[in-house]
Amino acid sequence: MALTDWVPQIRGALNQALTDHIKVTQSKLAQQSPKDTGRLASSWFIGKNQPDLKVREEPWGTPSKRTYPGGKGTEGVITKKGTMKVETEQYSGKITIDGDWYISNNLTYAQRCAFDPVYAKGAPGGANWFTAISTQQSHDLRKRIKSQMGKIK
């Protein structure tokens, strides 16, 4: 195969691997986020060259009613279940290797839910849901790149 034919195929494979990686990661973050109303899970946005600063509007679903036997700031006990909706917004542009990519969540409580076990309890991915996803990133991306490169003939 001539080099002029090979370069576009490599670029295409890298673009596809990155596209798959970013979309799957956004989906994992939404699925594994702690959920009450679904606003946190629905607020993971993809941005090119800078974070997307959007947030889902309030109200987003109906929060569960809780009591806090240990006081505020402790794990609450749900006394009445709320309603939840989870919708991830798909990135509308083309994802390519020619930029810096961000998956961000700009809710004021997002960082606390990602790293504080009290707030992350009940997350489908467990109390360390965010750390588990973030530590897998380089491994997952390498796997996707290897898979896409293997398709080049």
Instruction: Give the model's pLDDT for residue 62.
Output: 67
Q: How far apart are CA 68 and CA 77, in angstroms?
A: 6
Helix axes 137-149, 3-32, angle to 10 degrees: 140
Instruction: Give the model's pLDDT for residue 117.
Output: 79
Q: Minimal CA–CA distance to 13: which of 21, 3, 2?
A: 21
pLDDT in tens, the chain (153 residues): 677 788 889 999 999 999 999 999 999 999 998 877 788 889 999 999 999 998 888 776 666 666 777 666 666 676 766 666 778 889 999 999 999 999 999 999 899 989 887 777 767 777 888 999 999 999 999 999 999 999 987
Phi and psi at 89, nearest 5°, equal -85, 120
Q: How far apart are CA 106 and CA 124, in angstroms?
A: 21
Instruction: Give the model's pLDDT for residue 74.
Output: 60
> Alpha-carbon torsion 75, 113, 83, 126, what sign?
negative
Instruction: Give the model's pLDDT for residue 99.
Output: 92
Q: How far is CA 55 from CA 2, 15, 97, 104, 140, in A?
A: 47, 27, 26, 10, 27
Q: Counting beta carbons within 10 angstroms of the beta carbon of residue 135, is it exposed (0 to 12), middle (13 to 18) or buried (19 or more)?
A: exposed
Instruction: Give the model's pLDDT for residue 39.
Output: 87
Q: How far apart are CA 66 and CA 55, in angstroms?
A: 24
